[in-house]
Structure 1
Amino acid sequence: MERILVVGATGAGKTTLARAVGERLGLPHHEMDALYYTGPGWAVDDGFVDTVTRFSDEPRWIVDSIGSSEVRDLLWERADGVLWLDYPRRVVMPRVLRRSLRRTVARERVFGGNRETWSGWLSREHPAWWSWSQHASRRDEIERRTRDPRFTPLRTLRFDHPHRAAAWLASL
């Protein structure tokens, strides 16, 4: 695998795994949220599609996302491998809640210099709410895409538990 998508629910650990795989295999890692959100107020980069088109033309890369709607098909057409973190909600939700709580309490800067806020927890766009509400539909979409003939041959490794992903990573 030379062009890899790391997919799964929000909070599954996509970025962490993509970074680690990228380091081990010498693949440039592209963090989609950092490319997408580039300014205050969660401003979206006007050149996002061009940026993704450019790096996905390259022979080797790893991305930590299913891809936003603007670039999803492009990434899936160009990828040759998928690492699917297909974890149940009982695994994902504690992870996303801990991460968001840490970011909120510590006022950590994330994409584009933005921060998760206490008031943000009330929004349906907040990572915790998003992960909960999108878990089943995201899983269904990934399942469909891994079987879609437009995106074959895609080598798909599906991990149903973090221990399995960790064991695979250790084997690299």
Structure 2
Amino acid sequence: MHRISIVGTSGSGKTTLARQISQLLDMPHVELDELHWEPNWVEVSDEEIRSRVKIALSGDRWVVDGNYSKVRDLVWGKADTVVFLDYAFSVVITRLFWRTMWRSFTQQQVCNGNRESLRKAFCDRDSILLWALQTYDKNRQQYPLLFQQPEYSHINFIHLRSPQATKNWLSVISHQLTVNS
């Protein structure tokens, strides 16, 4: 595992897992949200994000998190491993709700100086909670089909269905590192 992509519905823990893998395997972590969003939640153009992703993934080792289909060919074209966090809807929406509440109240920066707000979360058409509702079933149907596409036959797909399965998988990786050291 030298080039890893983490995918899953918003709130599933992609960034958290990518950070853990980055530290465990001592490799750069690339957040697609950081490459996609400018300050004030301004989206970069498709050409710009593609350019940024090409640069970010120019190295031999990395872990990237995000679901941007507009750069999937770039990410998955180089990835040797894709991890799909496919948790129950109740897990995802609960995590996302509490994460959004925490970020809104603490004004924690999300990416490029952007911050979440209760207004944006509950009253905006671009609500992250609404986005999760709209994409949850789509992701669960889409990813298994993508895993079967011939252009991705070089990839080892890991389908994790619960936080405990993810914890166990990380534990195995950590154990393998210890044994091989």
TM-score interval (norm. to shorter):
over 0.9
Give the corresponding residue for 1:133.
134
**For 1:132 and 1:44, how far apart are their aligned partners in 2?**
21
Q: 1:1-172 residue pairs with structure 2 within 5 A?
A: 1-39=1-39, 41-45=40-44, 47-66=48-67, 68-120=68-120, 121-172=122-173
Residues 58-101 of structure 1: per-residue CA shift (max 9 Å, x gap): 211111112x2331221111111011111110110100000001
Identity of aligned residues (%): 32
**For 1:134 and 1:60, how far apart are their aligned partners in 2?**
29
Taking CA–CA contacts closer than 8 Å with sequence separation of 6 or more, which of the two structures ends up with the larger relative contact order?
A: 1
| Alpha-carbon shift at residue 124 of structure 1 (Å) | 3.2
Residue ranges of structure 1 left out of the alignment (5+ in a row): none
Q: Which of structure 1's runs of 4+ aligned residues deviate more than 6 A? A: none
Aligned residue pairs: how many? Answer: 170
| Alpha-carbon shift at residue 4 of structure 1 (Å) | 0.6
**For 2:75 and 2:167, how far apart are their aligned partners in 1?**
25
**For 2:43 and 2:34, how far apart are their aligned partners in 1?**
10
Could you tell me the TM-score, scaled by structure 1's length? 0.92
SS at match of 1:6: strand
Give the corresponding residue for 2:178.
none
SS at match of 1:157: strand
Q: Which stretch shifts more, 100-109 or 117-126? A: 117-126
Residues 20-63 of structure 1: per-residue CA shift (max 9 Å, x gap): 01111112100111121122x21234532212012223211111
